């Protein structure tokens, strides 16, 4: 089978990219001819990849948007280059992980190529992609589900910014009015929580074709030897932005004994304000470690008591949860989005209500004061990781969808 994968970036700089690249490698491992289409954002996963010649430039920043607003909404260059690449590689199926432009889907439609899309974020159903009403709280009644995307603009849902909310709102209307999503046969969601939300939206005529396939760990990751000992610290790993809830974690640390340590791995726009808060409250037991490579991150996992995911947005899956498990570590996490599908309360981790600092403190103390419970929950997490989030399971589910789509389009393999 010839598969063309589409993603914003051809690198390993984020969770979506990791899953897209791992899917690329997994399909090749099973003997398929696999190709990758992305933007020109470096550094590339394969430095001398022969199809880089087709990678278009994408409008990333507000400054670029002001110079060329049309390209943000409809990238004609991307459409042309994508069409040329499709002509050269002649894929049997196209699998999109993140869209470069709505114009890409026009090519899929015109050339009648079976197409599926994995939803790693929610631009399809939530213009801001974060599911945060006024950029502060979960949008519980799902205000944009019927296509009234002006809610995003009027409530400044995208980062509290008028400019960003305007761009995202108009982009959602472009998708809706051009009906480009009709090119997609199946929408794949990493969690049931996302699947259920998407089924409430105006995306997809047949709601049974909005399905769940969990993200996965590679065979190499599954070879990780779990470590049930620790070096006395808790670990947060991820970007430092408001929706990830690190501010609540620091508030909790402020009132906890000073011998409880926290390592924070990651960078982001909230980094400086978080460091200032930690300094102001004499949080000498909190270390900001910045960016770490994969090997350094593995050491952090191996030596922590547990990881903490304190987000206050709709976390679709959370790869750090299963990465924590494979290292033998339980997880303290917000009870939101797809998280409780992975973290079973008092089995392989403990859950607290998003933004509830008192509950978060209790969870941290629970593990700090019960080292044997940490080991027990870590072992349960490891068992779940090696049975439910494997390459084989992901591949089996994915190839079944590919074959369904091909059969529906009168193509068989």
Long-range contacts of 22-26 (CB under 8 A, 24+ apart): 22/216, 22/218, 23/95, 23/97, 23/394, 23/398, 25/218, 26/218, 26/391, 26/394, 26/395
Pairing type for strands 286-290 and 307-309 reads unpaired
Instruction: Give tens-digit pLDDT for 130-146.
Output: 888 888 888 878 888 88
pLDDT one-digit tens code per residue, 178-212: 888 899 999 999 999 999 988 988 888 889 999 99
**Range 254-280 average pLDDT:** 95
- Tens of pLDDT, residues 75-130: 999 999 999 999 999 999 999 999 889 999 999 999 999 999 999 876 667 888 88
CATH class for the domain made up of 220-385? alpha beta
Question: What is the domain class of 2-216+390-408 according to CATH?
Answer: alpha beta
Q: Report the C-alpha gap between 303 and 50 in whole angstroms.
A: 40
Which of 264, 366, 251, 255 has the alpha carbon at shortest distance from 309? 264
What pLDDT is stored for residue 67 in this prediction? 81
Residue 42 pLDDT: 87
247 and 268 Cβ atoms separated by less than 8 Å? no
Q: Which residues contact 116 (CB under 8 A, 6 or more apart)?
A: 93, 94, 95, 96, 184, 185, 186, 187, 188, 401, 402, 405
Percent of the chain's residues with pLDDT above 70: 98
Fold match between 2-216+390-408 and 220-385? yes
pLDDT value at 412 more than 70: no
The DSSP annotation for 203-215 comes to --S-GGGEEE---
| Domain layout of the chain by residue ranges | 2-216+390-408, 220-385
């Amino acid at each position: 089978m010839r598969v063309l994968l589409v993603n914003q970036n051809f690198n390993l700089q984020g969770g979506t990219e990791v899953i897209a690249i791992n899917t690329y490698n997994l399909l090749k491992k099973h003997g398929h001819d696999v190709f990758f289409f992305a933007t020109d954002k470096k550094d590339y996963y394969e430095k001398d990849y022969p199809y880089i010649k087709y990678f278009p430039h994408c409008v990333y920043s507000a400054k670029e948007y002001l110079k060329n607003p049309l390209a943000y909404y409809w990238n004609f260059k991307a459409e042309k280059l994508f069409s040329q690449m499709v002509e050269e590689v002649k894929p049997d199926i196209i699998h999109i992980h993140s869209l470069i432009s709505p114009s890409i889907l026009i090519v899929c439609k015109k050339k009648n190529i079976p197409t599926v899309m994995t939803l790693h974020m929610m631009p399809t159903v939530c213009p801001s992609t974060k599911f945060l009403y006024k950029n502060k709280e979960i949008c519980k009644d799902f205000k944009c589900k019927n296509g009234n995307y002006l809610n995003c603009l009027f409530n400044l849902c995208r980062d509290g910014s008028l400019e960003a909310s305007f761009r995202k709102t108009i982009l959602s209307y472009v998708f809706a009015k051009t009906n480009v999503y009709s090119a997609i046969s199946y929408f794949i969601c990493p969690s049931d929580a996302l699947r259920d939300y998407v089924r409430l939206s105006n995306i997809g005529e047949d709601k049974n074709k909005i399905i769940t396939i969990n993200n996965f760990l590679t065979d190499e990751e599954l070879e990780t030897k779990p470590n049930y000992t620790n070096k006395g610290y808790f670990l947060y790993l991820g970007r430092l932005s408001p929706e990830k809830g690190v501010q609540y974690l620091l508030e909790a640390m402020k009132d906890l004994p000073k011998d409880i340590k926290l390592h924070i791995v990651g960078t982001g726009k909230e980094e400086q304000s978080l460091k200032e808060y930690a300094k102001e409250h004499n949080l000498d037991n909190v270390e900001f470690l910045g960016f770490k490579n994969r090997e350094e991150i593995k050491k952090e996992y191996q030596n922590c008591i547990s990881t903490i995911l304190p987000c206050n947005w709709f976390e679709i899956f959370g790869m750090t949860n299963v990465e924590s498990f494979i290292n033998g570590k339980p997880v303290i996490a917000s009870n939101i989005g797809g998280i409780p599908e992975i973290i079973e309360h008092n089995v392989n981790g403990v859950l607290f209500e998003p933004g509830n600092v008192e509950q978060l403190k209790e969870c941290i103390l629970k593990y700090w004061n019960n080292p044997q419970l940490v080991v027990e929950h870590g072992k349960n997490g490891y068992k779940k990781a090696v049975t439910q989030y494997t390459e084989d399971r992901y591949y089996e589910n994915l190839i079944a969808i590919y074959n369904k789509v091909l059969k529906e389009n009168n193509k068989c393999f």
